[in-house]
Structure 1
Amino acid sequence: MDRCCTMKQATRRLRDIVSFVENGHSVELTRRGKPVAVLISVEEYQSLHAPAKQDFWSALQEFRSRREDETDDCAELLSGVRDTSPGRKVSW
């Protein structure tokens, strides 16, 4: 957590907190010393709620069943199957 503040502080400084969160940080809100909520950016929220990727076997079965129709474009069939995020760093 980048920052922690009470609910009372949050109500007084909401504009500043939203700006802080928009810049990629997170803020934990507390009430009587206990955490009650976390504010995160929309991008982080969307990445947490992204649909789960298919495993290879399910994707292959779907590909084979759709290929029988011969109506779908191959690129369209494979879209969303491959993880396009950059891989880990490797040093040689």
Structure 2
Amino acid sequence: MGAYYDEVEIEDMVWDPARKVFHYPCPCGDRFEISRQQLRDYEDIATCPSCSLIIRVIYDPLDYEDDDEIEKSEDETDSESSEETFEDAMEKLAL
């Protein structure tokens, strides 16, 4: 690929924790998106889901190298807190 709409540094993008993507405004009104997984896999192209524009993301791949370990620990923490919430709810349940 050679025709990028723009080159954007990752620091200029916004992290969306709910969707787990970085995003940046697109001229069409939507937004370019790229996930941490893509960055970890050395992909540097963020796409807009509404149009054909793409941007190149400038970042240091080494910053995302250890994300697998971080995501696993976050997933474990989320599942533990869900289990605790369920147990708490069961204790408070009165029939």
TM-score relative to the length of structure 1: 0.25
**Larger relative contact order (Cα-Cα within 8 Å, sequence gap ≥ 6):** 2
TM-score relative to the length of structure 2: 0.24
Kindly name which structure, 1 or 2, has the bigger radius of gyration based on alpha carbons.
Answer: 1
